[in-house]
Chain A
């Protein structure tokens, strides 16, 4: 799964634009630079290579993720592959931006959401992605983000 996640970060880096959230003209370069990390380095940080999105605070990050999760479901059901990938990359960026805060607030929820997002990214990156699996993961994320919002 981590190798699939690594593949995802490659395509996310390719698909990400400055509009993905951080407005940093150097974002593409910083993601490209991380592509050359060794697999052992990727294993240590599953989100290496993902540029953190710009968020004003964690609460707005959660809300942004919640919106993306809903749009993701619609994209999956409409079989809009590019949109699926774009939204997945967007979710990854927002998560990376806020995950430290989330971990401090609730380690258990952090672990759950992190795991779900990793699985979602892996499924998106897979050649045999399953609509049912994506929707189930997305729904699970929806619920856990709802729980998380109560902490902020």
Chain B
């Protein structure tokens, strides 16, 4: 009898030990506390927001009320429905399939039931309802904003939800939209390779063209009923009032400052993580380039030029490619600096020495498609005066891609330009 009892006890102890080794599958097993703010105010709820496997979950009712949404819960189907404006999100406990306005959407993680409270994935709900969601790692805070005010070159503009119908009025911003995975409903067409530059065209199927950057079609813009218009000062200041009357309009300061434009657009579209990652990679590539550049080329004087259809040429002491070369530590040819001009017109072959440098990069474009500017280019570049240029004598005159070096002006174009320089400067 004692032996049987002993055996029973030891079996029980073994079983209990085994049970204690089995991990708990409750929602809080791997939960980490996290803060959630909505428009700067801390979210309070009966069950605290928490991060599970890298995803932040919040009580559905608390988040809905905090962002101004209405909420319903069907206890038979365990489904929560959250509605804000024209957006409706449906989530079901334990299911990775949600619905946005009736269409199915996949979740990385299913909503959880914690102590009888439904917790829903914060980012998915926030973004589905047009709310800006930003994660601040240093304070473990998910910051939600139901509206956003963007300061720009012609004032400030408040957006009441993350835009879904963007109109983009300059080429650099079209490039950046593609990078940020935002397909505009309308965009200006490219200067060449219409409707859009080949390197981004596949991502713009369905985007309507709106004329060109210098003269966008206002009626076509209005017809699209956009919820944001992205413009740039040098091109669109004169039509700003008309644009504003169509939709909230944000006007960037400098169409060639792709980094600033990227950050502004990332703010607008709640894509700051993508932008931050891109910029971090860019900085790393710039550092890599500078490190690998041989001493003989460090600080080299770079002449950036194009030939014009009117028989002149232009040297750039400003603009997209110029900024990138500056960032890479190159210098400007002294004779160009001495003019004090940002865009130097060279109207005759006798002045061709203005185009010289240690390197000359030429992004001449055959705008009209008739070959005339290429004939003009050939006439100058086969002349004795040209052949006597320092860069030409050293075989450092290169014709380069006019789209990625000049006509686009976007973030992806910058990346392609930098990669081209590994070719031109013989770097691995």
Chain A interface residues toward B at CB < 8 A: 69-70, 73-74, 77, 131, 135-136, 139, 142-143, 146-147
Name the CB-closest residue of B to A138. Answer: B423
Q: Are B423 and A142 in contact (CB under 8 A)?
A: yes
Choose, from B42-50, B102-110, B393-401, the stretch at the interface.
B393-401
Contacts of A136 in B (CB 8 A): 399
Q: Are A73 and B420 in contact (CB under 8 A)?
A: no
What's the minimum C-beta distance from A136 to chain B, rounded to whole angstroms?
6
Give the residue of A70, A135, A143, A147 whose beta carbon is less than 8 angstroms from that of B426: A70
Contacts of B423 in A (CB 8 A): 69-70, 73, 139, 142
Chain B interface residues toward A at CB < 8 A: 199, 395, 398-401, 416, 419-420, 422-423, 426, 428
Give the residue of B199, B420, B426 whose beta carbon is less than 8 angstroms from that of A74: B426
Name the CB-closest residue of A to B422. Answer: A70
Q: Are A146 and B419 in contact (CB under 8 A)?
A: yes
Q: Are B395 and A131 in contact (CB under 8 A)?
A: yes
Known: A69-B423, A73-B423, A131-B395. 17 other contacts (CB 8 A): A70-B422, A70-B423, A70-B428, A74-B426, A136-B399, A139-B398, A139-B399, A139-B400, A139-B420, A139-B423, A142-B423, A143-B401, A143-B416, A143-B420, A146-B416, A146-B419, A147-B199
Contacts of A135 in B (CB 8 A): 398
| Cα A70 to Cα B401 with chains together (Å) | 17
Contacts of B422 in A (CB 8 A): 70
Q: Are B401 and A73 in contact (CB under 8 A)?
A: no
Q: Are B420 and A77 in contact (CB under 8 A)?
A: no
Name the CB-closest residue of A to B427. Answer: A70
What's the minimum C-beta distance from A78 to chain B, rounded to whole angstroms?
9
Name the CB-closest residue of A to B394. Answer: A77
Q: Are B395 and A77 in contact (CB under 8 A)?
A: yes
- Determine the main DSSP class of A at the interface with B: helix
Contacts of A69 in B (CB 8 A): 423
Name the CB-closest residue of A to B400. Answer: A139
Contacts of A147 in B (CB 8 A): 199
| Cα A139 to Cα B363 with chains together (Å) | 13
What's the minimum C-beta distance from B428 to chain A, rounded to whole angstroms?
8
12 A-B residue pairs with Cβ-Cβ distance under 8 Å, sorted by A, are A70-B423, A70-B426, A70-B428, A73-B426, A77-B395, A135-B398, A139-B398, A139-B400, A143-B401, A146-B416, A146-B419, A147-B199
Name the CB-closest residue of B to A143. Answer: B401
| Cα A146 to Cα B421 with chains together (Å) | 13
Name the CB-closest residue of B to A146. Answer: B419
Name the CB-closest residue of B to A78. Answer: B395
What's the minimum C-beta distance from B242 to chain A, rounded to whole angstroms?
39
Name the CB-closest residue of B to A71. Answer: B426
What's the minimum C-beta distance from A71 to chain B, rounded to whole angstroms?
9
User: Among A70, A74, A143, which residue has the most Cβ atoms of chain B within 10 A?
Assistant: A143
| Cα A136 to Cα B399 with chains together (Å) | 7
| Cα A143 to Cα B426 with chains together (Å) | 15
Contacts of B416 in A (CB 8 A): 143, 146
Contacts of B399 in A (CB 8 A): 136, 139
| Cα A136 to Cα B423 with chains together (Å) | 12
| Cα A85 to Cα B398 with chains together (Å) | 22
Contacts of B420 in A (CB 8 A): 139, 142-143
Name the CB-closest residue of A to B397. Answer: A132
Contacts of A77 in B (CB 8 A): 395
What's the minimum C-beta distance from B427 to chain A, rounded to whole angstroms?
9
Contacts of A131 in B (CB 8 A): 395
| Cα A141 to Cα B425 with chains together (Å) | 16
| Cα A99 to Cα B123 with chains together (Å) | 44
| Cα A77 to Cα B425 with chains together (Å) | 12
| Cα A131 to Cα B387 with chains together (Å) | 14
Name the CB-closest residue of A to B381. Answer: A132
| Cα A70 to Cα B292 with chains together (Å) | 15
What's the minimum C-beta distance from B359 to chain A, rounded to whole angstroms?
13
Contacts of A146 in B (CB 8 A): 416, 419
Q: 10 nearest interchain CB pairs?
A: A142-B423, A77-B395, A74-B426, A136-B399, A70-B423, A139-B423, A146-B419, A143-B401, A73-B423, A70-B426
Contacts of B395 in A (CB 8 A): 77, 131
| Cα A146 to Cα B426 with chains together (Å) | 16
What's the minimum C-beta distance from A90 to chain B, rounded to whole angstroms?
17
Name the CB-closest residue of B to A141. Answer: B423
Contacts of A70 in B (CB 8 A): 422-423, 426, 428
| Cα A73 to Cα B419 with chains together (Å) | 15
| Cα A77 to Cα B423 with chains together (Å) | 12
What's the minimum C-beta distance from A145 to chain B, rounded to whole angstroms?
11
